[in-house]
Amino acid sequence: MDNLSHSLTGLALSRAGLNRLTPHATLLLLLSANIPDSDVVSLAKSQLAYLEVHRGLTHSLAAAPLLAMACVMIVAAGYRKRLPWLRAWFVCCVGVLSHLLLDWTNSYGIRLLTPFSGQWFHLDLNALTDGPILALLALAAIWPLFSSLVSGEIGAVKKSAGRGIALSVLFLCGGFEACRYYLHQGAVTQLESRLYAGEPPLQVAALPTALNPFLWRAIVETETNFLEFNVNNLGLSDGESVHSFFRIPSSESLARARSSPPFAYFLYFARFPIWSVQSVDLKDGTGKRIELTDLRFGQPGRGDFHCVVVENPTGKIVGSWFTFGSGADLGWNDPAGR
C-alpha cells in the first residue's frame, strides 16, 4: 500500500487506544507503520537493487520485532527520555505488522518468510492506492477536528480524541476486506470456469482496481497466449476489448536473455511474464531488442516494470538492464549508452 495509507493506519491505531500504553504512541506508530519501506534506500545503488530487496527482509515476520525495537530507540533518542520499553515495543510491533498486513492484501506481493523462504504471498484484494480504504482512514483522521468544531459551537463536553471513530473505521476496514475477499473469490471462480479460444486456463488472476470494489482486471494464461480484460462481480461489461498477447516460442535469444542478472531476478518476481522481440538498428547492423514485462504492471512498451536486453547481429548481448516508469518509449535508451 502507499505510505499515506500506512500512516493513516498508524494514526487510527493510536487513537483507537494504543496511545494509552506509552508516551509518544502516535509518533511510534507513524514511524513503525512505515519503517518496512526503509528498503527504499537501495535505490541509491540502482533500480534493480531496489526491486531485489523491496518487500523482502524489511517486510518479513522475522525482522518485525527488530524493526519495532529500532523505532523505540529512535523515538527515545529523539526525545532524550526513557520510555516504557516493553509497552512501547509492543505498540511498534503492532505498527510494523499493520504495514505487512496491508502490503499482503495487494497484488505486488510480500515475502513474509524471508530469509527462510523467498516465496511471494499475494491476496490481490486492494490496489496499491485503494480508494475505499484510503477514504475510510482519512475519515478517521479528520473526524476529531470536525467533531471538536461542532462541540465548540454547542458547548459540549469534549470526549476522547477520535477513539470511537478510529475503532469504527478499523472495524469497517476489516469488514470491507472480508467482503472484498468474497468478491475476489467469485471473480477467480468465474475466470477459472471458462475456456478461452477452446483452451483451459493455466493460471488466472483477478487484480483489484483503485475505486470500484466490484471491478477486477483479469489476467488469464493459456498454452498459447495471455489475455487481459475486465471482469465485474455484477455481471456488467465496461465495453473494453480483450487484449491478447501470444506466447513467444523459446529461442537461443530468449535463453541468453534469461541468463542476464536483470532477467534472472525478474523472472522470479513476475507472475505473468510477457516477452516481446523487436528489430533495432545498431551501429554494426540490425539487432534485436528483447523486453520482458510483468502483465500485472503493464504491457510491453508500456507500464512500470521492464527488463530489456539488446543483441547485436551476431547474437551477442551488448546491453541488459531493468527500469521503472511508464510511456511508449520507456526502456529504449540503454543507461550504459550502448
The pLDDT of residue 149: 59
The pLDDT score that the predictor gives to residue 31 is 98
Q: Rounded to whole angstroms, how far apart are CA atoms 314 and 22?
A: 67
What pLDDT shows up at residue 82? 87
Cβ neighbours, 10 Å, residue 297: 20
Residue 327: per-residue pLDDT: 43
pLDDT (0 to 100) of residue 147 = 66
Mean pLDDT of successive 10-residue stretches along the chain, which has 338 residues: 96 96 97 98 94 96 98 95 94 98 96 97 96 96 76 50 92 97 96 94 96 95 94 73 88 91 93 92 90 89 84 90 65 47
Per the structure block, which three cell numbers stand in for 46? 540502482
The single-letter DSSP state of residue 42 is G
Decide if 35 contacts 97 (C-beta within 8 A).
Answer: no
pLDDT score recorded for residue 338: 42
Q: What sections of 80-220 are H helices per DSSP? A: 85-104, 131-154, 163-192
Q: How far apart are the first and last CA of the chain?
A: 36
